[in-house]
Structure 1
């Protein structure tokens, strides 16, 4: 590769991407959060995306609650801590590479993909037993499932998977901020609900006149759909590992899409 080609490639990678339809990948992340949190809660009784609930679990642990699960606070604390570490890492890299640069978006999603792949592999090989469950069906397996649940949750590899999934989730909200789509945090619903119902133009028509409202609604719906799909997939032979492999595959596709995404044009640069 000659010098001119190298310089062209470098300019392509460090250049900013177009924000036109860039909200679509972030909306897909809402779907993925529903898929992942559906698995994380069934496997470890904690969340890896929505950290508000985990913070309460940590607080309850100070009183030895909930009864019957003395390690819940630890799993929740690991999730919160990993999420914070992830936010720090992703935001630092984003500042270094450029918030909207192609290389930043690609590297972020590639790292998220790798973290989910590792998690899926640990689940698939039963190294993290709580995440290895398939055909989770309380109607027929409730006795077997309940007797194994807490011991599986306390396996050391389960803590690793929780941490990895929490870190990758932090990458999503960091990028939503970097791209300027604060209305699509993709990992939290409480503030999104508040912002949606507080919008004075909630019922504005035509629909295209209020894009932020539309994104919030889509984010909520996709998160819900992700959770529903996650639940039903866990009741099949694909189980929890299958859900994680699907998420990893979708993240990889998104990594490639950012690599091929249209560059920012002159009009967008002047507008910003």
Structure 2
């Protein structure tokens, strides 16, 4: 009895999606050598088909994903507002750590705070009445710190109104600029004369004050009030008066607690850096922490605005909702 020939029905196999997708393409090399036979008008032998043709018919070509996203995808990414999720919480806590490092460092080296303007305001009164606890030369440090902080807050605050402060491009640009100011302050402290007062100290405080004012404005306007990166007094009051303080699920309470411990951790890190080396190391560590937080704004989920039409219950107002979208879907559509 003649041995059966190995054939496949092209009309059935290649037109049947489920069967075609499960053909063992690597086994075709063995079939190409062993199969011989006559042509049949209803059947086609595997050795009569090229392997490339079979692969293309078995696995239909898919539209390849572009390696580089389109310019439109990049514009969409940078123009989106960022989502309020755990990523934003982590970024603000990193900035809080940076604030703690800065204040611990500047108070140790210059007897003023970079961000805590409540303390600096108290120092103004001490200096004005010639209190012996602080030297008179430090008054200039206080004046520069407060003045540059206000200028920084005004600059970043007013500019953010024109560029939509919650958009990714603004958050990246503004925080990276503040990071550069921190690195510049660390470099100035490292290579300029190291003194508590004088031109070099005033230069360092000017850079830090301007950057700190901008950071706090960004933290407040981003829409997560519990993580303001510097104002711990209000946080403690809100935490102690929280009606749901002992509830299992309480996101605002959790943010306030993490904010407080982030600030404490930053303060310990700043004091340790100053005692181990110098204020230059503390400023460098604060700048590196700030850099990580700033660069990470590239990876936040973006908000896709969806227009749901007119709401008849609100006198014709349009209903707009947002959905968080990962950057991979924004850039490549995956």
TM-score relative to the length of structure 2: 0.68
Q: Which has the higher contact order (CA 8 A, sep 6+)?
A: 1
Residue pairs, 1:1-272, within 5 angstroms:
5-21=70-86, 22-67=88-133, 69-125=135-191, 127-129=192-194, 152-204=195-247, 206=248, 209-237=249-277, 239-266=278-305, 270=321
Distance 2:198 2:175 in 1: 28
Which consecutive unaligned segments of at least 5 residues does structure 1 have? 130-151
Q: Which has the higher helix share?
A: 1
Q: Do the aligned residues in 2 keep the contact of 1:34 with 1:224 (CA within 8 Å)?
A: yes
Q: Give the CA RMSD over aligned residues.
A: 2.1
- Which stretch of the first structure deviates more once superposed, 54-63 or 109-118? 54-63
Are the structure 2 counterparts of residues 62 and 235 from structure 1 closer, same or farther at C-alpha, using a change threshold of 3 Å? Answer: closer
List, as ranges, runs of 4+ consecutive aligned residues in structure 1 with deviation greater than 4 Å: 266-269
Residue 157 of structure 1 and its aligned partner are, at CA, apart by 1.3
Residue 221 of structure 1 and its aligned partner are, at CA, apart by 0.8
Partner of 1:270: helix, strand, or coil? Answer: strand
Q: Give the total of aligned pairs.
A: 242
Distance 2:189 2:304 in 1: 43
User: What are the Cα deviations for residues 102-129 of structure 1, in whole angstroms up to 9, with x where unaligned?
Assistant: 111001111111110100101111x151
Q: Do the aligned residues in 2 keep the contact of 1:40 with 1:46 (CA within 8 Å)?
A: yes
Are the structure 2 counterparts of residues 97 and 72 from structure 1 closer, same or farther at C-alpha, using a change threshold of 3 Å? Answer: same
Q: Do the aligned residues in 1 keep the contact of 2:81 with 2:167 (CA within 8 Å)?
A: yes
Are the structure 2 counterparts of residues 198 and 5 from structure 1 closer, same or farther at C-alpha, using a change threshold of 3 Å? Answer: same
Residue 65 of structure 1 and its aligned partner are, at CA, apart by 2.4
Which consecutive unaligned segments of at least 5 residues does structure 2 have? 1-68, 308-319, 324-334
Partner of 2:136: helix, strand, or coil? Answer: coil
Q: Do the aligned residues in 1 keep the contact of 2:182 with 2:211 (CA within 8 Å)?
A: yes
Q: Do the aligned residues in 2 keep the contact of 1:172 with 1:187 (CA within 8 Å)?
A: no
Are the structure 2 counterparts of residues 260 and 42 from structure 1 closer, same or farther at C-alpha, using a change threshold of 3 Å? Answer: same
TM-score relative to the length of structure 1: 0.83
Distance 1:9 1:66 in 2: 58
Are the structure 2 counterparts of residues 201 and 160 from structure 1 closer, same or farther at C-alpha, using a change threshold of 3 Å? Answer: same
